[in-house]
């Protein structure tokens, strides 16, 4: 099925629709999102991407990541995709955004303006096997260590954004304690 996503400029201003694979073949900047879900024990829910994904298959990454469809607003997209990939929804808050560009071995190019969201969830996980090969709850310090010891086991965007997410959570915790 052909899917149209949203091409954007460097300020995340919408340019128009672009077919998803065309964006990835030609490295066109497009809107994306990454979701980080924590449980009440402050563990992060990671997913291992299905090895059949068009890029980064078999790698560990944040809880959910995707693109809003053309004419779909970002808020609707984050809840839709979290439900589709992991089988649940929860309240989400945007904490920052960033742009990145990376070339993959299969000649695809990820060029994204990525909005990062966090949330908390303690319920049942029902992952979509077409999207998710495996999942696990993991302590933050374990993730940090594993990224150092096994950097090729994680997606580029996860390694890029993980420390910023943790920094945000620590700053929020300090503000809430004052």
Tell me how many domains the chain contains: 1
The answer to whether residue 3 is catalytic is: no
Say whether pLDDT at 177 is over 80.
no
Nearest to 14 by CA among 76, 81, 64, 69: 69
Which of 172 and 137 is assigned the larger pLDDT?
A: 137
For 36-94, give the DSSP string: EEE-TTSEEEEEEEPTTSSSSTT-EE-SEEE-PBTT--HHHHHHHHHHHHHS----EEE
- The domain in which residue 16 lies consists of 4-177
CATH number for the domain harbouring residue 36: 3.90.79.10
The answer to whether residue 65 is catalytic is: yes
Catalytic residue among 64, 65, 110, 133: 65
Query: Which pTM was predicted?
Result: 0.93
Catalytic residue among 85, 110, 112, 133: 112
Return the pLDDT at 149.
Answer: 97
């Amino acid at each position: 099925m052909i899917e149209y996503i949203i091409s954007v400029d460097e300020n995340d201003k919408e340019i128009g629709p672009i077919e998803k694979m065309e964006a990835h073949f030609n490295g066109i900047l497009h809107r994306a999102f990454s979701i980080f879900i924590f449980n009440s024990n402050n563990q992060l829910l990671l997913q291992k991407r299905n090895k059949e994904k068009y890029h980064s298959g078999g790698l560990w990454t944040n809880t959910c990541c995707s693109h809003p469809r053309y004419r779909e607003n970002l808020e609707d997209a984050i809840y839709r995709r979290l439900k589709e990939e992991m089988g649940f929804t929860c309240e989400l808050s945007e904490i920052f955004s960033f742009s990145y560009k990376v070339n993959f071995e299969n000649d695809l190019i990820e060029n994204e303006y990525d909005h990062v969201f966090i949330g908390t969830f303690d319920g049942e996980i029902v992952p979509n096997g077409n999207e998710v090969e495996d999942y696990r709850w993991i302590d933050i310090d374990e993730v940090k260590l594993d990224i150092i010891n096994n950097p090729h086991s994680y997606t580029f965007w996860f390694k890029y954004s993980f420390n910023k997410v943790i920094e945000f959570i620590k700053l929020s915790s300090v503000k809430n304690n004052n």
